[in-house]
């Protein structure tokens, strides 16, 4: 479900509900998530005050005083919600963490592709992010440059490469297609087809695409909601994703879809011709 912008929307909505609050009792379901739930690690957070939230790519974390905390990945269907403890948890609630006397932080995930992993100090937190590349929403010039080099070094198709979280973090299946449309680059062009300028242009398009989505508080199809249960408004702004057969807003051509690397890719063949000469595209 969530890509970088949705995770950022959740993090931002969660922060004011968590910061300064004292963690209470932990409860975990018996069903394993992607990684089995470490109940002891969760319990060790008890009586500590939440001091920070963070995110890199699609991974987010909550930190308590002393540097311990929780790393959360939402997978396809994960949600993080703050709800009154008295409210009955919905089906597929896998983790409940007390917040003060009145509320609970709840992790809900029907498909259980997500994970909740406790960490005990900052270095352990960093280790959980070892394979995650620079965050495309918040990176600096150095991060963007590193992503550009990595992109230009891969012989994989651009659409497939954008989904590789080691190269750059936060782009998922929706925004990969959207960013390529914004950059007017074919999803089937290869990383090695890009010259320096084209790689830069693509990564700027990625950045702008994700920033727009954050401004609209994410894209909601069926499930995505923030920590208060509010849906995002970005769906109406999508240019190509899930719009196969419709007219391209830019040229009027027909938007197509095709499976690429076992995922759906959406693009406008007229705006994003195959193997476009990248040097020419720069002008």
Q: Which residues would be at the binding site for DNA (CB under 7 A)?
A: 1-3, 6, 34, 57-59, 73, 75-77, 91-92, 110-113, 131, 154-156, 160, 163, 165, 172-174, 218-224, 232, 261-264
- CB of 47 vs DNA, minimal distance in Å: 31
- CB of 102 vs DNA, minimal distance in Å: 28
Active site residue 159: no
Distance CA 153, CA 193 (A): 9
Active site residue 3: yes
| Active-site residue, from 2, 118, 134, 187 | 2
Distance CA 168, CA 133 (A): 5
Q: What does the CA dihedral 16, 223, 129, 126 come to, rounded to 10 degrees?
A: 20
Task: Report how far Cα 196 is from the mean position of its chain's Cα atoms.
Answer: 26
- CB of 234 vs DNA, minimal distance in Å: 9
Of residues 103 and 109, the one with the C-beta less far from DNA: 109
Of residues 49 and 153, the one with the C-beta less far from DNA: 153
Helices (H), 163-272: 173-183, 196-215
Question: Is the alpha carbon torsion for 135, 136, 141, 147 positive or negative?
Answer: positive
| Active-site residue, from 31, 111, 228, 263 | 263
Distance CA 45, CA 120 (A): 9
- CB of 111 vs DNA, minimal distance in Å: 3
For helices 196-215 and 141-153, the axis angle rounded to 10 degrees is 120
Active site residue 48: no
Active site residue 65: no
| Active-site residue, from 58, 96, 106, 217 | 58
| Active-site residue, from 3, 104, 178, 207 | 3
Of residues 149 and 263, the one with the C-beta less far from DNA: 263
Of residues 131 and 140, the one with the C-beta less far from DNA: 131
Distance CA 38, CA 44 (A): 10
Residues classed as catalytic: 2-3, 58, 263
């Amino acid at each position: 479900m969530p890509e970088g912008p949705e995770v950022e929307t959740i993090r931002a909505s969660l922060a004011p509900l968590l910061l300064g609050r004292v963690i209470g009792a932990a409860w975990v379901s018996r069903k394993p998530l992607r990684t089995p739930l470490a109940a002891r690690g969760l319990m060790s957070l008890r009586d500590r005050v939440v001091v920070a939230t963070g995110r890199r790519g699609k991974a987010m974390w909550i930190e308590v005083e002393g540097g311990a905390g929780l790393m959360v990945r939402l997978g396809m269907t994960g949600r993080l919600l703050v709800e009154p403890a008295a409210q009955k948890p919905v089906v597929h609630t896998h983790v409940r963490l007390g917040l003060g006397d009145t509320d609970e932080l709840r992790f809900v995930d029907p498909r259980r592709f997500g994970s909740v992993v406790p960490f005990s100090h900052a270095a352990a937190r960093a280790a959980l992010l070892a394979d995650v590349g620079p965050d495309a929403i918040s990176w600096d010039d150095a991060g963007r440059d590193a992503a550009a080099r990595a992109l230009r070094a891969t012989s994989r198709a651009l659409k497939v490469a954008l989904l590789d979280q080691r190269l750059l973090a936060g782009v998922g299946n929706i925004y990969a297609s959207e960013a390529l449309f914004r950059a007017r680059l074919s999803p089937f062009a290869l990383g090695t087809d890009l010259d320096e300028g084209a790689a830069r242009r693509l990564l700027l398009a990625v950045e702008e695409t994700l920033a727009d989505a954050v401004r609209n508080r994410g894209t909601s199809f069926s499930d995505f909601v923030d920590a208060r249960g509010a849906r995002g408004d970005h769906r109406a702004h999508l240019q190509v994703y899930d719009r196969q057969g419709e007219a391209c807003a830019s040229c009027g051509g027909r938007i197509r879809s095709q499976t690429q690397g076992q995922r759906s890719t959406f693009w406008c063949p007229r705006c994003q011709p195959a193997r476009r000469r990248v040097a020419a595209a720069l002008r």
